[in-house]
Every structure is written in C-alpha cells, then in structure tokens.
Amino acid sequence: MNISELRERHPTHWMKAAALRVLAMDAVQAANSGHPGMPMGMADVATVLFERHLKFDPSAPDWPDRDRFVLSAGHGSMLLYGLLYLTGYPGMTIEEIKRFRQLGSKTEGHPERHPGNGIETTTGPLGQGLATAVGMAIAEESLAARFGRRVVDHHTYVIAGDGCLMEGISHEAIALAGKQKLSRLIVMWDDNGISIDGKVILSDITDQMARFAAAGWSVHACDGHDPEDIDRALTEAKASTLPAMIACRTHIGFGAPTKQDTKAAHGSPLGPEEIARVREIYGWTSAPFEIPDDIRASWQATGARGATSRAAWEGRLGALSNTRRAEFERVQSGALPARFGKAIAAFKKAQSAGRKAVATRKSSEMVLEVVNAVVPETLGGSADLTGSNNTLTKDLGVFDPENRGGRYIHYGIREHGMAAAMNGIAAHGGAIPYGGTFLVFSDYARGAMRLSALMGARVVYVLTHDSIGLGEDGPTHQPVEHLANLRALPNMFVFRPADTVETAEAWEIALGSMTTPSVLALTRQNLPVLRTRHTNQNLSARGAYVLAEATGRRRAILLATGSEVEIAMAARAALEAKGIGTRVVSMPCWELFAAQDEAYRRKVLPAGPVRVAVEAALEFGWERWLCGERGAGKKAGFVGMRGFGASGPIDELYARFGITAEAVAEKVEALL
Ligand SMILES: Cc1ncc(C[n+]2csc(CCOP(=O)(O)OP(=O)(O)O)c2C)c(N)n1
Ligand SMILES: [Mg+2]
C-alpha cells in the first residue's frame, strides 16, 4: 500500500504511525547518529501491534502478565522509544526522546534492559533479541504450568530484521522454538530486502518462510504497511498452535523521497532537506518533537487500553489461595525460599564430614539435588551434554510441549541459543535458568553470555571439563584461555571450586546474585574434599581465603583454584616438611575477592612471602594477584599452561605440562 492510499483509507492509523516515523527521523537528526530507516519501515506494524494486540499497561510496566515486546532489530531503537513515549510510560518523556543517544539518557543507542521503562531486554547484537524471546516464551509456559492460565496468559512478540535472521543464532533459536511448539511466540520479520551493505541478496537468498516452516513454525505474510493486512496476519499468528513468523513486506525509510528502499536509509540521519520533504509527503506539519493533540490522544487511548485487563488480572491473582499468591509473588520478586540457606549449610556439613572424593561436576549435581528440591523455580538444561555436565537431577521432568511442568530443557547442540534463551528466562522473571556445556564451548555461547553480564541477568552457566584434566579428548576440548576470557567480562562471577563444599558455596552465591550471572567451571576428574572443617559461613563469598596456614614463619603463599588447590596442598606439605612455612590460598572467585576491602585482601595476601600461583590454564590475568596486591615480580611464579593441551590420559598430561606439586615446590624454593 502506498502513502497516498494509506492516508486516504486509514487516516487515523496513518497519523499514529507517522508520529513514530517523524519522532525517529527527528531524534536521529538531532543526535546526528542513529537508524531512521527501520522505524520508518516498521511503524505500521508496530502501531497495529500496540493498538490492537499487545497486552500492556504503561502505568504498571512490570505487570507480570504483560505481553513481552522485544525489538530484536535493536538499531531501530527509536521505534521502541517512540512507542513507549506515545503510549505513556512515565519514564519515557519527550525530554528523553530529545536526548536520544546522549549520555545519561534513557534512550540509549540500542535498547538496554529496563523493565521499569518497558524495555524487556538488551538488544543490538543482531539475533540476540529473537533468541532471548524464545526463553521468555519458555518461561511463560513454565509459569503457566505452575500457576495456571488465570494468572499467566501472555504472548511474546518480536520484531526481527534481515540481520537477525542471517545471524547463526537465529537458526538455533527458531529450531528450539519450533521443537518446543512455543505457540505464544510471534516474530514479525521486517522483510525490507536491505541491510548495511545494500540489498540483502548481495549475501543471502534464503527462503526464510521455508526455513521457519521447516523448523516447525507457522508462517504468515502481510503487506507491512496495510493496517488491515497486518491485523489479519497477527490474528492468524495468535491462533496458531505453533510459534508464528510473519514476513512483513516493508520499505526501509518509507516515504523518504531519495532514500526509501536503499541502504542510505539504514543508519544515518536523513538530512534537513530530505526530512522537510518527508514531512510534506506525510502531511505532517508539526515541529520536531511536537505531537498534535488528536494524535497524542489516540496514542494515549492505546496506552490506556490495558488497564482493564490488568485490573481483572489483579482480581484473579487475589482469588488465588494465600499460599499460592505468596509463592507467585516470591518467584516474581526473585527471592529464594527461606529454607534455601539452611539446606546448603546442612549439605556442606555432611560433605565436610563424609569427605567423598568426586569430580566437581558431580559435586554440582549433588548440590543441585538439594537446590532443585528446595527451589522450585529453577529451570535446568544442557546443550546435549546432560550426562557430562551432570545437570539433570531426579524428579525434574523434561520440559516439552506435552509436559510444561517439566523443569529440564534439552537445548540440543545449541550453546548460543541456550545462553540467549536463559537470558530470556531470567529477563521474563519467575524462573531461574541454569544450563551446561563444556567450558571450551563457552566460545560458542559468548555473545549471549556477554549480554547476561551487561543486563545483569541471574543465569548460571555450568561449564564442565574445565582443563587438561578432561584428558583424552585433547586440545580441541581442553580450555586454556577460557577462564581468562570469562574473567575479562565485567559483572560475571567465574567460580572454579576446589571441592564439593566450595561447589555448594558457589551455587549458593550464584543463585543469590540477582544482578550478576555466574560461571561454574567444574572438573571431569575426581577431587578430594579439602574443606574438612565445617562452617555455616560461605567462605567462597569472599572470593579467596586461607585454606591452610603456614606452620611457623610464613615464607611462601600458594594461590590456586579448582583442581589445582589439591596440588597446592601437596606442595605445601612438601615445603613444610623442609621447614618452609607455606600458606595455601584457595581463590574460587577472583571477582568476589577483588570486591573485598583492602584490609581483607592484605590479610589473605600480605607483602613479604614469595607467591606461586597454580592453575591448569594460561597465566593471563594472574599478574594482578602475583605482582599486584603488595606482590613483587621477582618473588612471584606461575605454574600452569603455556599453550594448547594435548590428547592423553590425565596423569600423563599434568606431568607433561609440569603442573605438579613438585614443580610448585621447586618454584618456591628457587624464588626464596
Ligand atoms: C551481531 C551484529 N553484527 C553486526 C551488527 C552491525 N549491524 C547493525 S544493523 C546491521 C544490518 C542489519 O540489517 P537489517 O536487519 O536488515 O536492518 P535494516 O537495515 O533493514 O534496518 C548490521 C550489520 C550488529 N548490530 N550486530
Ligand atoms: Mg533489512
């Protein structure tokens, strides 16, 4: 449908959509940066969605039963900000729109998760929004199974561009959604045939409808500028028992006389002349950032539409029994059950006494038996390594279309899709996701892991086979740089527990960290229990602590994590036997140790003694603890990997790479 037809046949719709278009065009011009083309192209789709379908209430942005709207094509952020402003989200004022992309504004270059302002998830890296939305739809089904459709009954809508669909992560996401029959997930594809380099056919000729259909989706198409056709497609999509994709044929930069349908509309201001001509073509006479009263009123009516259904929902929530309502409210708030801490303490006590040597991946499974029994909102899973990651505990049940009450998700061999889905589960709220793969394959998930950290999502990554200790699978599977890589991420706890007790502590911290995701790096090989003296206190919460003190004068401090703490303890025994007083510091979480006050850090790492760190990974990053923190380069050493590992039995590998108690003791003696 062209603009003159639209203006004639749907005048009110046209002006509402034009308001979104003009806001985007003007804000991008004012910021002198941004992406006007996508909002101008998708304004009709967004208007119909918000006016006739989306369940939302700007006066209660965090209403748990709202529909989720995800702008996966995050570069078109002005479309989202315009919608939030026009429908009346209190946090999204015209001042914020005027400050688009400015420091400290709520209108960042790309949407950054802020549910209080109606921004459900962080997008910008293409494809992430779509894959995150899959997790939101999973969480919705899971919560509906737990609490009933009377209080959990919403949809997840996504706007995705060509870029989102070209990214590899989209394949993982749509395949997972198709298998899971996530019928409340609706993806609106901005089918405009243009991306940054020019026409999409420069690089892609995929039949997207056929691709989605092949993955088990219901596929639809519409003229993305015709409100009646958009409405028809959305209505059909909602009626489907499968996830639905709607190919919305649109024109990027709709109405821009020289730039429509070209790459020039994608990512730069249109310029004053083009903007003036667009105003004429649109029939828009208002100045920048001014919305005519009648159009404003019409948008406000759209924003007010959800208040009745929210009131009705409040009534239904109130009609639940007190216990069920309290439980619903607890999981929504993210608070853990009251008995969680006691359960972990009891587990630790039993393990300190029992002293059973197991791999920490097994320790993690043992902890999860406790956690999953006490915390009913966990949703576990693995990227096809369930038996290796030890992520499945008894009685969880498998989440699938026939059993939405199941709490274990077979994510398939889709690390990136799993990580993004977990972000979506966490962002949705009401459930706590954890998922496993090998540590080395965190590379395949990292795009989404970075967003976990940036968004502050409570996601737990169970990453097993954390070193050459995995043995025969060889260097393709042996992480060496991954700990450093993950430690480099801001706002990510990287735990490498040394035994079952530390593993329990890591889980306790991870689940209690509402705004920080966690990695648990776990071994394949057995490790002895080193924390044989029980304390209710979570020692790992300080990041590092003195596990064994020097007897006599302290001349050496050994720093170690995970499986190498055992090696440090053996080295200590050898050194002490020679009269060299040696302290062992276990460092399960660098980030938490770095966050301690200096007095504590100085107590653990005083100046003076030589320091040797041992970790079956690259040295990268250890300088901070060896040379910084009152240390000195000439009194510091590192025992660990220097390059890639090798295929072979574990004992031979540790010897081959010189990660042994003898090597640690020798290094200390050489430094003394
Ligand atoms: C993972 C990722 N790679 C690259 C980019 C840079 N980028 C931003 S938008 C874009 C083109 C997207 O094309 P499309 O989705 O068709 O958007 P349209 O031009 O239609 O608005 C690219 C390559 C990005 N944001 N994320
Ligand atoms: Mg495009």
Tens digits of per-residue pLDDT, 568-607? 999 999 999 999 999 999 999 999 999 999 999 999 999 9
C-alpha 491 to ligand 1 mean position (Å): 26
Q: pLDDT confidence of 276, banded at 50, 70, 90?
A: very high
**If you average pLDDT over residues 408-420, what whole number do you get?**
98
CA angle 497-491-369, nearest 5°? Answer: 40
Q: What is the residue whose two structure tokens read 């889980």?
A: 507
Structure confidence by residue, pLDDT tens digits, 384-411:
999 999 999 998 999 999 999 999 999 9
Q: pLDDT confidence of 252, banded at 50, 70, 90?
A: very high
Kindly list the protein residues whose Cβ atom lies closer than 6 A to any atom of ligand 1.
37-38, 73, 75, 124-126, 161-164, 167, 190, 192, 194-196, 252, 266
Burial class of residue 567 (count of CB atoms within 10 Å of its CB; 0-12, 13-18, 19+): buried
**If you average pLDDT over residues 631-648, what whole number do you get?**
97
Q: Is 290 helix (H, G, I), strand (E, B) or coil?
A: coil
pLDDT at 496 (0 to 100): 99
pLDDT at 335 (0 to 100): 98
C-alpha 29 to ligand 1 mean position (Å): 19
Cβ-based neighbours of 267, under 8 Å, separated by 6 or more: 34, 35, 37, 75, 196
Q: pLDDT confidence of 77, banded at 50, 70, 90?
A: very high
pLDDT at 175 (0 to 100): 98
Q: pLDDT confidence of 466, banded at 50, 70, 90?
A: very high
Q: pLDDT confidence of 545, banded at 50, 70, 90?
A: very high
Which residue among 166, 196, 262, 454 is best mutated to probe the pocket of ligand 1, counting the most ligand atoms within 8 A of its Cβ? 196
pLDDT at 323 (0 to 100): 97
Q: What is the mean pLDDT of the chain?
A: 98
Give the residue among 133, 153, 184 at the shortest CA–CA distance from 65. 153
CA distance 642 to 644: 7
Burial class of residue 310 (count of CB atoms within 10 Å of its CB; 0-12, 13-18, 19+): middle
CA distance 173 to 171: 5
Q: What is the residue whose two structure tokens read 């479309």?
A: 79
CA distance 122 to 69: 12
pLDDT at 270 (0 to 100): 98
CB 248 within 8 A of CB 45: yes
| Ligand 1 atom nearest 125 alpha carbon | 26
Active-site residues, by number, are 415
CA distance 291 to 287: 8
| Length of the chain (residues) | 672
CA distance 567 to 651: 12
CB 20 within 8 A of CB 79: yes
CA distance 168 to 190: 18
Structure token pair of residue 49: 């969605």
One DSSP character per residue, 510-567 reads HHH-TT--EEEE--SSEE-----S--SS-GGGGS-EEEEPPSSSEEEEEEE-TTHHHH
Structure confidence by residue, pLDDT tens digits, 429-453:
999 999 999 999 999 999 999 999 9
pLDDT at 648 (0 to 100): 97
Q: pLDDT confidence of 413, banded at 50, 70, 90?
A: very high
Which residue among 28, 78, 126 is best mutated to probe the pocket of ligand 1, counting the most ligand atoms within 8 A of its Cβ? 126
Q: Which ligand has the minimum distance to the alpha carbon of residue 168?
A: 1
C-alpha 162 to ligand 1 mean position (Å): 8
pLDDT at 227 (0 to 100): 98
Q: pLDDT confidence of 527, banded at 50, 70, 90?
A: very high
**Bridge partners, residue 247, by sequence:** 189, 221
pLDDT at 173 (0 to 100): 99
C-alpha 128 to ligand 2 mean position (Å): 16
| Ligand 1 atom nearest 265 alpha carbon | 19
For residue 492, what is the DSSP state? -
Q: Which ligand has the minimum distance to the alpha carbon of residue 126?
A: 1
Q: What is the residue whose two structure tokens read 């502590």?
A: 505
Q: pLDDT confidence of 481, banded at 50, 70, 90?
A: very high
Rounded percentage of the chain residues whose pLDDT exceeds 90:
100
Which residue among 28, 38, 75 is best mutated to probe the pocket of ligand 1, counting the most ligand atoms within 8 A of its Cβ? 75
Q: pLDDT confidence of 492, banded at 50, 70, 90?
A: very high
CB 424 within 8 A of CB 412: no
pTM above threshold 0.85: yes
Nearest CA to ligand 1 atom 23: 196
pLDDT at 459 (0 to 100): 99
Structure confidence by residue, pLDDT tens digits, 318-353:
999 999 999 999 999 999 999 999 999 999 999 999
Residue environment code for 482-495, b if the CB has 16+ CB neighbours within 10 A, otherwise e: bbbbbbebebbbbb
Structure token pair of residue 474: 């060889």
Q: pLDDT confidence of 14, banded at 50, 70, 90?
A: very high
For residue 439, what is the DSSP state? G
CA distance 177 to 169: 12
C-alpha 73 to ligand 2 mean position (Å): 9
Structure confidence by residue, pLDDT tens digits, 25-76:
999 999 999 999 999 999 999 999 999 999 999 999 999 999 999 999 999 9
Q: Provide the terminal-to-terminal Cα distance of the chain, rounded to the nearest Å.
A: 82
* Residue 377 backbone phi and psi in degrees, to 5: -95, 5
Rounded percentage of the chain residues whose pLDDT exceeds 70:
100
Q: Is 455 helix (H, G, I), strand (E, B) or coil?
A: helix
* Residue 548 backbone phi and psi in degrees, to 5: -140, 130
**If you average pLDDT over residues 609-613, what whole number do you get?**
98
CB 623 within 8 A of CB 615: no
